[in-house]
């Protein structure tokens, strides 16, 4: 059975925690898109970890972790992550890397920086991990698949072509040092030796696993609103964040995907630029940021403060719909326990009209939030295991949101740990 864990919002919904928890009953966990630009924070018996490339299942002995073909594979980052978790005593994980995954090249990271510099005020707020230049090259058909590392003749010829093309931009657009084919070739040889032990045809591996009735978890990065087609374009990421894309990015038949757990956060947060209708500012935002997540709402990769907002029913309803949600995992509900009243965004007012349908970006920029205020529960709900034991106002908040978004909330997360979960 194939399941996906994906985000309904702008990312940082707590997918890492939900995947880590669901991985207890899974055989294989697959990353299918994105790269080292975002990260998951996971708290478990071994400590606290920020993973960028490895799937969240690496902490179990019984699981295989796969980096699928859809991922932007940064080989040195992957190696560092493997070493860092082994250093903290996690048993050596079983990791497979798709021979069709493409490689983030050092010049992708440079181009990401140079372009953000060039754009200045109009920059995207990129994490400068090379993701946009990487996917541009992939779809311009000038990227490097992992399998190409093992074809020396091809590589030698290809790095020359790469340098010819990239150096035009480096010289004339960015005025930066030029690339040398021999340097790139040497780097690719290092990459080849590092990655060789992990490479295989992961789609064949997954197909066999499906036939053997294994449980496969597809782990998404970011959330619906960062999808390049369905998100807040152009302030999006460069690969699809949607569960159906998980089938492409892992290489499995689409009809095998049976469960989509969409992780939805009890308030909003976002990183980077772009419209954020329910955003809050000042002390109100600072307090939520400080209390949020596990130790505050700061980026797992960059450490930068996240933008904060109230729960957005319009964005989340759309976010769940586009994922093909079967289950909603509603997270960080415990964080809201300090509020007397909790505002929720229930509609967008655009040019004097109120809508509950998530609009295209040009309209989104004009949207003002329509807020409804619900009573808070003013208590700490961590440690509660049964839904009935939650304070009445907390249940009312959850049920109100479930009705607004129109998808069943089957899991409520009330703390960062694996066991902080209430099933409904």
**DSSP three-state, residue 102:** strand
**DSSP three-state, residue 344:** strand
How far, in Å, are 20, 76, 81, 194, 201 from residue 191 at the CA level? 28, 8, 15, 5, 18
Nearer to ligand GDP, 159 or 335 (CB): 335
Output the six-digit token pair for 174.
């960015």
- Give yes or no for a cis peptide into 234 (omega within 30° of 0): yes
Name the residues annotated as catalytic.
Answer: 12, 40
- Minimum gap (Å) between residue 308 Cβ and ligand GDP: 13
Nearest to 360 by CA among 352, 371, 350: 350
- Minimum gap (Å) between residue 261 Cβ and ligand GDP: 12
Alpha-helical (H) ranges within 2-90 are 15-22, 75-87
| CA atoms of 107 and 260, how far apart (whole Å) | 36
- Minimum gap (Å) between residue 356 Cβ and ligand GDP: 25
- Minimum gap (Å) between residue 65 Cβ and ligand GDP: 15
3-state helix, strand, coil in the chain (%, to 5): 40, 20, 35
- Minimum gap (Å) between residue 20 Cβ and ligand GDP: 9
**Phi/psi at 320 (nearest 5 deg)?**
-75, -40
Nearer to ligand GDP, 49 or 318 (CB): 49
Nearer to ligand GDP, 13 or 99 (CB): 13
Q: Please report, as ranges, the residues that interact with ligand GDP according to CB under 6 A.
A: 7, 11-17, 40-41, 43, 293-294, 300, 331-332, 334-335, 413-416, 420
Contact predicate 4/260, CB 8 Å: yes
Nearer to ligand GDP, 44 or 136 (CB): 44
**DSSP three-state, residue 265:** strand
DSSP tag of 57 = G
| CA atoms of 205 and 421, how far apart (whole Å) | 32
Nearer to ligand GDP, 88 or 180 (CB): 88
- Map tokens 């050092």 to a residue: 106
| CA atoms of 400 and 411, how far apart (whole Å) | 15
- Minimum gap (Å) between residue 416 Cβ and ligand GDP: 3
Nearer to ligand GDP, 323 or 413 (CB): 413
Nearer to ligand GDP, 115 or 334 (CB): 334
Nearer to ligand GDP, 24 or 371 (CB): 24
- Minimum gap (Å) between residue 113 Cβ and ligand GDP: 23
- Minimum gap (Å) between residue 134 Cβ and ligand GDP: 20
Nearest to 4 by CA among 254, 363, 304: 254
| CA atoms of 80 and 85, how far apart (whole Å) | 9
What are the residues whose beta carbons fall under 8 Å from the beta carbon of 122, sequence distance 6 or more? none
| CA atoms of 67 and 65, how far apart (whole Å) | 7
| CA atoms of 32 and 198, how far apart (whole Å) | 16
CB atoms within 10 A of CB 6: 34
| CA atoms of 55 and 70, how far apart (whole Å) | 13
Distance of CA 367 to the CA centre of its chain: 25
């Amino acid at each position: 059975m194939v399941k996906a864990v994906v985000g309904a919002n702008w990312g940082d919904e707590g997918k890492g925690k939900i995947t880590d928890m669901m991985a207890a009953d899974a055989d294989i966990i697959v990353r299918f898109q994105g790269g080292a630009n975002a990260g998951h924070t996971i708290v478990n018996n071994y400590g606290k970890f920020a993973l960028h490339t490895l799937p969240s299942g690496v902490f179990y002995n019984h699981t295989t972790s796969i980096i699928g073909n859809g991922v932007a594979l940064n080989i040195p980052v992957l190696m560092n992550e493997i070493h860092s978790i082994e250093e903290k005593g996690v048993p050596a994980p079983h990791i497979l890397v798709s021979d069709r995954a493409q490689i983030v090249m050092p010049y992708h990271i440079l181009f990401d920086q140079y372009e953000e510099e060039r754009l200045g005020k109009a920059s995207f707020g990129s994490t400068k991990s090379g993701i946009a230049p990487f996917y541009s090259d992939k779809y311009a058909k000038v990227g490097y698949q992992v399998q190409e590392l093992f074809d020396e003749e091809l590589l030698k010829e290809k790095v020359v072509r790469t340098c010819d093309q990239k150096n035009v931009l480096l010289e004339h657009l960015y005025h930066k040092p030029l690339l040398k084919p021999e340097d790139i070739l040497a780097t690719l040889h290092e990459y080849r030796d590092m990655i060789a032990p992990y490479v295989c045809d992961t789609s064949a591996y997954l197909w066999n696993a499906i036939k053997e009735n294994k449980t496969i978890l597809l782990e998404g990065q970011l959330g619906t609103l960062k999808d390049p087609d369905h998100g807040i374009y152009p302030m999006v990421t460069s690969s699809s964040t949607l569960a159906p894309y998980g089938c492409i990015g892992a290489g499995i038949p689409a009809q095998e995907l049976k469960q989509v757990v969409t992780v939805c956060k009890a308030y909003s947060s976002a990183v980077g630029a772009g419209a954020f209708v329910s955003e809050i500012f000042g002390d109100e935002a600072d307090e939520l940021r400080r209390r949020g997540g596990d130790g505050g709402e700061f980026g797992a990769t960059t450490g930068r403060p996240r933008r904060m907002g109230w729960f957005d029913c319009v964005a989340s309803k759309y976010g769940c719909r586009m994922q093909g949600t079967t289950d909603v995992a509603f997270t960080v509900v415990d964080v809201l326990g300090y509020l007397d009243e909790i505002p929720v965004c229930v509609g967008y007012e655009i040019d004097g009209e109120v809508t509950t349908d998530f609009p295209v970006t040009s309209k989104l920029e004009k949207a003002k939030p329509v807020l409804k205020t619900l009573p808070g529960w003013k208590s700490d709900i961590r440690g509660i295991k049964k839904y009935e034991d939650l304070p009445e106002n907390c249940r009312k908040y959850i049920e109100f949101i479930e009705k607004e978004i129109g998808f069943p909330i089957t899991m409520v997360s009330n703390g960062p740990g694996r066991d902080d979960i209430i099933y409904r």
